[in-house]
Structure 1
């Protein structure tokens, strides 16, 4: 049932405006000639301070429009280094081409339809963040500054299309959707001529309350015709992602993710497992740990994009300045703290996250530091302000 308060006062009365800025730095023991950190899209440079994102948000929550139907709007635009990797070809790949770029995180119409069940069907149509995976682009809702290999290379980032949630009952939602592909759009922004889509199931408040999970299966062509020829239209990429969280108490919880990807066009596979643990020691301080095992079976997924537009060019199948390692099994461990003191009425979020991260090749390759090092240590962190 949708609330009627906003409808009675005027449809725009509950509009939400927001701004958020994040910047940080990660120093690496494996120095590279171009100050890049292999296997790290965020942050994209080592030993250099970075404006990761300046995000502006306008949200009109879903409110009744009659007959049990609801309508809303979600808009968030981002400027910063993160936009180089979260680029959407055909939409944001040519607006700015420097170190700092701009992109829509989401720009969609939100719908509620009173169909089939008491909870009905919710949907987002337009540009939306990919629903697969644990770690989000928004630094205020993820534990770490750096991202897991699984997040960066084995889950999608952005879509143009539609995603829907059918509320089966109070515990389970059926999720499904269709889009133009991972970080592609239409026309010149599409790297092949076929769509892709999702189907999956999520559950919440299970086992008496502490357990939640999401399983998503995704299938569709993701390779570029310019790169592998016409078979890009029929060569499928299969994604499987299962993640869940168990809250032991209000103070601590554990999350885990299992992921597998198979690409017919590249004849490539990845598989991985990630575990997060969080301990809230006070209302303003949380300690986190993350450990991961990630296998890139051919070395075609974990890639370093050296140029400012290399990521977008690779999506479209154009030649780009990139580096890839041989087939590698990566292990990584990250530790951090999140400090969120209350600083004033007008500041909604002040967050500082110091982090230390250890990466290692577990099968003898040397992917780090211009292929001289089999391991590395990264130390740094970021700061986020939200208004």
Structure 2
């Protein structure tokens, strides 16, 4: 089974800022600077402390399903997985010192972020938090990394982040203020990684080109017995910025390394069978109101269908997808959003619903019980998904960093008539709902 985010500043694959920047931007006066003093104008440690900010966010939502599936789950939906049940998705507390100084200077910052809520079930790290909670609402250290800017080689220098990192691949991220919808696309759930322990680097070659690379222990695993195999994985990719006079940005990011569990597949297969993740996306800011994004993703895993024998034949699993986004600013406080997706699960090895609060992480680690509702058997499934919604984001004064209400309607369908939805009864699913958030 394949198992696959605040962003990595400077080299997140794409933040969809065009969808939300004008609605969720953090005014400087709304941030709390816990170490600010009258001495902040001086140099040295007190000046360094003065740039530290502390912010909070609360997000919750519901996805209603008129079909009322017998198992109670919306198939293929992580954040809104419990049909017709409201959920507290995230309570977020973030302390950060961002590196915003001159690119020609050495800089040191950090990010510490904790998240409590139902979303945390999918973003644990094995060996750190995955077995600490059994309820629907769980707690994770979502980010804990040191950020260093090194003015080396080029005018833009090199950015480095080391520690617990949100995965940089893909368009949609865990942070609800940085994505257009409450729910996620199939691609964002099944074909990109979520969380890492490792190091990421972003080399600013020039104003147009950034090169990204990094190494980590694997997707959502750590070290020793908390790693589901004994091999590392890593990233490499390129960003093309400021194209077409600053209107177009293209991001390509690839990743390679074993990601399957030795306890399930055996050490030979788990360590030798590579997973190749590839994602490329482009965003065009057509004008002040309209922006469009297109994403193409291809995942190839050599081990998901391999027999558990030393010299067993490899039978790789594949998934590929295309996702399109559109955002149109109707008024300064109201934005219309569209998402359309075609996702091909070629071996029915990727898409599943994890039934149980710890099932997803048990599947990652290969330990414990993982109860899931898998995709249809026999042949691969092509999923289609269309989501429409609006983002209502009125300003609530200088002490409220962000406030938004985001209703959406979503249509999911098997395009080759397999019956994956509503407990296996239907070849399609209609859900509606959304979320609300407030941040300080």
Are 1:335 and 2:335 an aligned pair? no
Deviations 1:231-258 (A, max 9, x none): 1011100011000100001101000100
Task: Provide the rounded CA distance (Å) in 2 between the counterparts of 1:94 and 1:69.
Answer: 39
Deviations 1:192-246 (A, max 9, x none): 0000000000011101111001101100000000111111011100011000100
2:339 counterpart (290, 297, 313)? 290
Task: Provide the rounded CA distance (Å) in 2 between the counterparts of 1:324 and 1:125.
Answer: 35
2:144 is matched with 107
Kept after mapping to 1: 8 A contact 2:410/2:430: yes
Deviations 1:24-49 (A, max 9, x none): 00001342223111111112211000
2:363 is matched with 314
Task: Provide the rounded CA distance (Å) in 2 between the counterparts of 1:170 and 1:336.
Answer: 34
Q: CA deviation at 1:7?
A: 4.8
Are 1:255 and 2:297 an aligned pair? no
Are 1:243 and 2:281 an aligned pair? yes
Task: Provide the rounded CA distance (Å) in 2 between the counterparts of 1:104 and 1:191.
Answer: 20
User: 1:275 is paired with a residue of what secondary structure?
Assistant: strand
Q: CA deviation at 1:64?
A: 7.2
1:365 counterpart (400, 409, 418)? 418
User: 2:363 is paired with a residue of what secondary structure?
Assistant: helix
Judged with a 3 Å threshold, the aligned counterparts in structure 2 of structure 1 residues 6 and 309 are, in CA distance, closer, same or farther, namely farther
1:224 is matched with 261
1:186 is matched with 223
Question: TM-score, normalised on structure 2?
Answer: 0.85
Task: Provide the rounded CA distance (Å) in 1 between the counterparts of 2:272 and 2:41.
Answer: 49
Kept after mapping to 1: 8 A contact 2:71/2:423: no
Task: Provide the rounded CA distance (Å) in 2 between the counterparts of 1:161 and 1:295.
Answer: 30
Q: Which has the higher contact order (CA 8 A, sep 6+)?
A: 2
Kept after mapping to 2: 8 A contact 1:6/1:14: no
1:278 counterpart (310, 327, 330)? 327
Task: Provide the rounded CA distance (Å) in 2 between the counterparts of 1:91 and 1:134.
Answer: 26
2:82 counterpart (25, 29, 45)? 45
1:12 is matched with 49
State the aligned residue count.
384
Judged with a 3 Å threshold, the aligned counterparts in structure 2 of structure 1 residues 59 and 24 are, in CA distance, closer, same or farther, namely same
More strand per residue: 1 or 2? 1
2:192 is matched with 155
Judged with a 3 Å threshold, the aligned counterparts in structure 2 of structure 1 residues 243 and 45 are, in CA distance, closer, same or farther, namely same
Matches within 5 A, 1:16-95: 16-62=53-99, 68-95=105-132
- Structure 1 residues not aligned, in runs of 5+: none
Q: How large is the RMSD of aligned CA atoms in angstroms?
A: 1.7
Task: Provide the rounded CA distance (Å) in 2 between the counterparts of 1:133 and 1:384.
Answer: 23
Q: Which moved more, 1:178-187 or 1:24-33?
A: 24-33
Question: TM-score, normalised on structure 1?
Answer: 0.96
User: 1:150 is paired with a residue of what secondary structure?
Assistant: helix
Q: Which moved more, 1:183-192 or 1:166-175?
A: 183-192
